């Protein structure tokens, strides 16, 4: 089982690295899906089968499809790929790379300076998650419902197409 974890972790790290370096957005999106599926494998072996299923269905299924549709609507072509390649040239990686490497070093130092106990996985069934979600975290569920409502209204309002006015005399008749 440990081998599965390490292989999936390697796949996740490699594909995430490819996501942030690709010039073509559809390629990056496909690598992001690979990365999410690898993380889902890790969830599965870490005793969270329900979360693994949610990751595949919602993250890799629904959210990525949203991204694909938006990329299709924006109709990015070869010229954007060339522009991306110009933006991503060498020197731009140095500053952010050093800074985030320092932050990651600090993070790893803090993590590894603690006591090193082994992960003893006890699988948690969806039933336990559901009971906890709808008893202890009921308020959180309601707040999440409000957040989703705000998301729907916001997406509808922002995504609304304005009516095209053909001539200024016709402007008032449209309303």
Partner 1 sequence: MIDIPLQTGIMLSGILFFMGFLGVLVRRNIIFMLMSVEIMLNAAGLAFVLAGSHWGEADGQVMFIFILTMAAAEVSVGLALILQLFKHFKSLDSDSFNKMRG
Q: Which of the residues 132 through 171 are near partner 1 (CB under 8 A)? A: 132-133, 136-137, 140, 144, 147-148, 150-152, 154-155, 158-159
- C-alpha–C-alpha distance, residues 165 and 172, integer Å: 10
- C-alpha–C-alpha distance, residues 98 and 103, integer Å: 9
Judge residue 40's burial from the number of C-beta atoms within 10 Å of its C-beta, 0-12 exposed, 13-18 middle, 19 or more buried: buried
Residues from 113 through 132 that contact partner 1 (CB under 8 A): 114, 116-124, 128-129, 131-132
Cβ atoms of 1 and 47 closer than 8 Å: no
Site string for partner 1, 13-52 (x = CB under 8 A): x--xx-xx----x--xx--x--xx--x--xx-xxxx-xx-
Judged by CB, which is closer to partner 1: 128, or 171?
128
Residue 3, token pair as written in the block: 């081998």
Judged by CB, which is closer to partner 1: 120, or 172?
120
Residues from 53 through 92 that contact partner 1 (CB under 8 A): 54-55, 58-59, 62-63, 66-67, 70-71, 73-74, 76, 80, 83-84, 87-88, 92
Per DSSP, 92 falls in state G
């Amino acid at each position: 089982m440990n081998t599965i974890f390490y292989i999936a972790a390697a796949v996740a790290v490699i594909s995430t690295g490819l996501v942030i370096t690709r010039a073509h957005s559809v390629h990056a999106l496909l690598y992001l899906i690979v990365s999410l599926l690898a993380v889902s494998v890790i969830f599965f072996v870490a005793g969270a089968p329900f979360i693994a299923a949610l990751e595949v269905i919602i993250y890799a299924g629904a959210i990525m499809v949203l991204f694909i549709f938006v990329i299709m609507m924006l109709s990015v072509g070869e010229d954007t790929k060339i522009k991306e390649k110009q933006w991503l040239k060498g020197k731009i990686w140095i500053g952010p790379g050093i800074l985030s490497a320092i932050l990651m070093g600090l993070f790893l130092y803090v993590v590894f300076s603690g006591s090193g106990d082994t992960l003893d996985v006890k699988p948690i069934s969806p039933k336990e998650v559901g009971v906890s979600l709808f008893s202890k975290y009921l308020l959180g569920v309601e707040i999440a419902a409000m957040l989703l409502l705000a998301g729907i209204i916001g997406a509808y309002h922002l995504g609304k197409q304005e009516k095209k006015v053909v001539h200024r005399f016709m402007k008032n008749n449209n309303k």
